[in-house]
Amino acid sequence: MRVFDLRSDTVTKPTKAMRMAMANAEVGDDVYREDPTMGELEARAAALTGKESALFVPSGCMGNLIALFVQAGRGKEVLTASASHIIGHEIGSLAAIAGTLPITIDVPRGILSADDLAGRVKAGSYDMATTAVISVENTIGGYCYPIENLAGIKAFAEDHDLRVHMDGARIFNAQVATGIPVKEWASYADSITFCLSKGLGAPIGSLLCGSKAFIDEALTVRKMLGGGMRQTGILAAAGLYALDHHVERLSDDHHHAQMIAQSLKKSGWAEVDMEGVQTNIIFFTVPSMETKAVVDVLKEHGILANTEANVVRLVTNLDISYDDTLAICAIIEGLTMEAT
């Protein structure tokens, strides 16, 4: 039985062409900042985001942690949506390691506005933490942040002398879905991370981008966290290949997600968040069944899914073709979901 892995867009394997680029990469010692391929990737990332400088990190989690470590740090606060990745999926590292206190805000879809931030900024006193950073996530659950919200948040931050960090793990999905360039999204943040190993199909790595002074500090914190690596050009070559060849094709993933969502809606047993399917992520529930039971049934029929809180999540990706999507849709439409 063919297995279709829709647990995440992190499960993809490097393509043959990407592996060839990795094999042929010119390398050097990146801890000494002598790896030419990594230098090229970091320069590309800075240009794409419109920032002065960029730094490769092993994961988006480390990139977000470093950004908060540098721009907030011990005894400071970060304002963020309660649904954000830095709260739910980064093991409390911003508090445990950066010493930063998260102040979470419950908002629909995790989308903040300037109004949601009003009255939450603390100027600080001897017995109170000082608010330092606002953190936003784009996309969040596959949903694109409204650009007007980001503009309002940045203006609010400037009025209150705050920094804005953007967890842009899937920012290229937002670019392809909306036509708004990454550089424009990033203009509303002081720092931004983006991931190479999610929709772009590289095996490892994220880029942290910001001012030169910020990245100089980030380099020290990366070393402190054990993130300094040596001949990283092999990984950088995969990232460069992904940026050259795997950005525009994200529209395929978005189209496949729409196809699958429509089949779920047509099935009669699934309740699908159709409005939320803007990019490559689908959330749905089966009212008569527990989410784990739904995931188990799908697995029996060759579809690997994941759960997010009390919903089932499917993520289209580089390794799922159009023909694969047709097969997945046929399986979904042929299934009967019943509690046992």
How many domains, in total, are found in the chain? 2
**Together in a domain, 241 and 257:** no
Question: The domain spanning residue 211 has which CATH number?
Answer: 3.40.640.10
**Together in a domain, 190 and 315:** no
Give the H or E element holding residue 330: helix 322-334
CB burial readout 241-267, b (16+ within 10 A) else e: bbbeebbeebebbbebbbbbbbbbeeb
**Together in a domain, 228 and 271:** no
Domain boundary at 185, 211, 245, which? 245
- Per-residue pLDDT band at 339 (split at 50, 70, 90): low
Inside any domain, residue 292? yes
* Backbone φ and ψ of 274, nearest 5°: -65, -40
Domain boundary at 245, 273, 300, which? 245
DSSP 3-state assignment of 41?
helix
pLDDT, the chain, mean: 97
Tell me, what's the pLDDT at 123? 87
**Together in a domain, 108 and 241:** yes
Residue percentage of the chain with pLDDT more than 90: 96
Task: Look at residue 35 and tell me whether its pLDDT is greater than 70.
Answer: yes
Domain boundary at 197, 213, 245, which? 245
- Per-residue pLDDT band at 190 (split at 50, 70, 90): very high
Tell me, what's the pLDDT at 106? 98
pLDDT in tens, 207-264: 999 999 999 999 999 999 999 999 999 999 999 999 999 999 999 999 999 999 999 9
Answer yes or no: are the C-beta atoms of 248 and 176 closer than 8 Å: yes
**Together in a domain, 272 and 219:** no
Inside any domain, residue 23? yes
Rounded to an integer, what distance in angstroms lies between the CA atom of residue 166 and that of residue 169?
9
pLDDT in tens, 144-187: 999 999 999 999 999 999 999 999 999 999 999 999 999 999 99
Question: Where in the sequence is the domain holding 270, given as residue range(s)?
Answer: 249-334
Tell me, what's the pLDDT at 338? 73
pLDDT in tens, 113-138: 999 999 999 987 788 899 999 999 99
Who's near 175: CB < 8 A, 6+ residues apart? Answer: 181, 182, 185, 247
pLDDT in tens, 281-300: 999 999 989 999 999 999 99
